[in-house]
């Protein structure tokens, strides 16, 4: 499984970065989970060229359960290979990046600050990988 999380802007909170590093380390046994932090210039599209399936995180998107996200990851990675997730900044996404997403997901009905949304996505991707692998991390 090859996943990329593209963060619009840089994260600076040491606590968020430490937790992210822990989940990235844990994810390694399931495949590759890469984080790219980009400071866009103007309205540039932020997607990596290697991503064959692009998912924007937005509060108005579909809200899958953790098991539902695992099923989506299985489907998307089997059909398309690398999957990229885009986390916007405090103001959301630039229109060109959001317009080229094939899917839009929400992490819940609450509005989250983007560093917390970033960390929650990383944890949920790890959780989805454990669900697919049948390991006991998820107790759902």
Cross-strand pairs, 83: 3, 53
Q: 6 lies in a domain?
A: no
Q: How many CB atoms lie within 10 A of CB 122?
A: 26
| Mean pLDDT in residue range 49-63 | 93
**Structure confidence at residue 101 as a pLDDT band (50, 70, 90):** very high
Q: 36 lies in a domain?
A: yes
At 49, which helix (H) or strand (E)? none
Residue 20 sits in which domain range? 11-133
Domain count, the chain: 1
State phi, psi for 50 to the nearest 5 degrees.
-75, -15
Q: 140 lies in a domain?
A: no
Q: What gap in Å lies between CA 64 and CA 19, rounded to an integer?
A: 23
Q: 72 lies in a domain?
A: yes
Q: 138 lies in a domain?
A: no
Q: 93 lies in a domain?
A: yes
pLDDT tens track for 70-99: 999 999 999 999 999 999 887 778 788 888
pLDDT tens track for 11-49: 999 999 999 999 999 999 999 999 999 887 777 777 888
CATH number for position 93: 3.40.1280.10
């Amino acid at each position: 499984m090859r996943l990329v999380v593209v963060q619009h802007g840089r994260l600076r909170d040491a606590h968020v970065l430490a937790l992210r590093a822990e989940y990235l380390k844990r994810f390694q046994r399931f495949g590759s989970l890469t984080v790219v932090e980009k400071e866009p210039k103007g309205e540039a599209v932020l997607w990596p060229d290697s991503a064959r399936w692009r998912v924007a995180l937005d509060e108005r998107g579909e809200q899958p359960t953790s098991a539902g996200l695992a099923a989506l990851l299985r489907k998307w990675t089997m059909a398309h290979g690398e999957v990229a997730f885009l986390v916007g900044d405090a103001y959301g996404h630039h229109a060109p990046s959001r317009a080229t997403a094939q899917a839009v997901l929400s992490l819940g009905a609450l509005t989250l600050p983007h560093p917390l949304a970033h960390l929650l996505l990383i944890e949920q991707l790890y959780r989805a990988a454990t669900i697919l692998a049948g390991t006991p991390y998820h107790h759902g």
